[in-house]
Amino acid sequence: MTNLSDPQRRCVIDELLKRSIDGELPHETQRAVARHLGHSCSVAGKIWAHYILSIEAGIVGGEWQSRIKQNSGRKRKDRSEIVELLQALPIEDRSVERRAASLAGVSRHLVRSLVEEGGLS
C-alpha cells in the first residue's frame, strides 16, 4: 500500500473527529473508519496519535500532514568523487575490494557496482 496523501490523511482525521466524544475515540472507532475508507487500522491509529500529540503540543488545528515529502530516503553519493578517491589509492590497496572500500570510506557494494559498471578497474 502506498503512503497516504495529505487530503487522504485529512479525510481520516475528519472522520475520526466526527466520531470522537470530547476528544476520545469510542472502542473500535479507528478500525471502523479505516475499513470505511479502505485503509488498515494501524494507519488510522498512527495518524490519530500524531494528531493528538500535535494538539497537546499546542498546535492549533493539529498536525495531520505527512512527514514524508518527495525527496525522502538516502541521498545518492556522487560516484565521480568516489572513483577519484579509489583511484588515488595505491594499486596494492585497490587489489582487494574490501580493503579499497574501507580505505576510501565507502561500502563494498558501491565498490563492486563501480567495478561492474566499468567506472573502476
pLDDT, residue 102, reads 92
Residue 1 pLDDT class (50, 70, 90 cuts): low
CB atoms within 10 A of CB 24: 8
Radius of gyration of the chain (CA): 25
The highest-confidence range among 76-80, 91-95, 96-100, by mean pLDDT, is 96-100
**Each residue of 102-118: pLDDT tens digit?**
998 899 999 999 888 88
**Each residue of 4-58: pLDDT tens digit?**
888 888 888 888 888 888 878 888 888 888 888 888 888 888 888 888 888 888 8
Q: Give the residue extent of every domain in the chain.
A: 6-56, 79-117
**What value does the mean pLDDT take over residues 66-85?**
79
pLDDT, residue 20, reads 86
**What value does the mean pLDDT take over residues 68-77?**
74
Amino acid at 106: V
Alpha-carbon gap, residue 96 to 41, rounded angstroms:
50
30 CA to centre of own chain: 24
Alpha-carbon gap, residue 92 to 94, rounded angstroms:
5
End-to-end CA separation in angstroms for the chain: 41
Amino acid at 101: A
